[in-house]
């Protein structure tokens, strides 16, 4: 295979793909919806196909790429004027946390688990779910978060009914995740399942299985979200 031919084809395809992505708009660079992602992947695959086999005529790659760009431009124009189609192609935001409560059904609908939620909250520089008023999962997969204006202050009660504080330093610890007690985290704060059950009963939960998520921070603030 002629090295010069490979070089020239590579340079040409680079500028063609660059031009096509510019034609598709800055929205492609800023975020990728599911539709945008499919188009981008297909363009990349066709570009590789043309570069791998120098015997293939360039038009066999340029025509499909140009077709994809035209499809994207037409659909972008149509969805600009029709919200129903826009939701069909791009999806719509989903409220994961509403008024401080986690929406388990919405998470299940999008196959979005608690670990995903904790990760994206940390990326938003929020360490405690108790500090969140609203969290919205955007069509791009990004989590938009609105913090509570006034953060809750709370002290826990020990096994003897005495008020106290949790003596440990670090991030908020999950004590229950999807109905399952995290015993290793209970050990870190020097508490038992009996103590945890008392705390749940104070908040109106009779059993661990009723709780979707429960966490506690180093100041003793406990966040509880029950299954619905």
Model pLDDT for residues 155-204, shown as the tens digit of each residue: 455 544 444 455 555 678 899 998 899 999 998 888 899 999 999 988 88
Tell me how far apart the alpha carbons of residues 189 and 167 are, in angstroms, rounded to a whole number: 7
Q: Regarding predicted confidence, which is higher, 68 or 158? A: 68
CB 223 within 8 A of CB 215: yes
**Residue 45 reports pLDDT greater than 80:** yes
Segment (H or E) for 45: helix 34-52
Mean pLDDT along residues 117-125 = 91
Angle, vertex CA 191, rays to CA 187 and CA 193, nearest 5: 95
Residue 226 has what pLDDT? 86
Residue 139 has what pLDDT? 81
């Amino acid at each position: 295979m002629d090295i010069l031919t490979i070089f020239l084809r590579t340079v040409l395809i680079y500028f063609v793909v660059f031009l096509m992505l510019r034609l598709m708009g800055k929205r492609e660079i800023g975020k990728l919806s599911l539709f945008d992602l499919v188009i981008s992947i297909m363009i990349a695959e066709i570009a590789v196909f043309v570069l791998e086999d120098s015997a293939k005529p360039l038009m066999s790659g340029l025509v499909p790429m140009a077709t994809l760009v035209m499809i994207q431009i037409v659909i972008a124009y149509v969805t600009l004027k029709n919200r129903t189609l826009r939701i069909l192609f791009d999806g719509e935001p989903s409220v994961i946390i509403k008024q401080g409560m986690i929406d388990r059904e919405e998470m299940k609908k999008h196959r979005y688990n608690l670990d995903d939620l904790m990760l994206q909250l940390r990326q938003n520089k929020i360490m405690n779910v108790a500090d969140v008023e609203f969290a919205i999962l955007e069509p791009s997969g990004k989590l938009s978060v609105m913090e509570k204006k006034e953060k809750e202050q709370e002290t826990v009660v020990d096994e003897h009914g005495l008020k106290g504080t949790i003596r440990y330093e670090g991030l908020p610890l999950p004590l229950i995740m999807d109905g399952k007690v995290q015993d290793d985290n209970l050990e870190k704060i020097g508490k038992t399942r009996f103590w945890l059950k008392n705390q749940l009963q104070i908040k109106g939960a009779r059993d661990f299985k009723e709780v979707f998520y429960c966490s506690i921070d180093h100041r003793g603030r406990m966040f509880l979200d029950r299954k619905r």
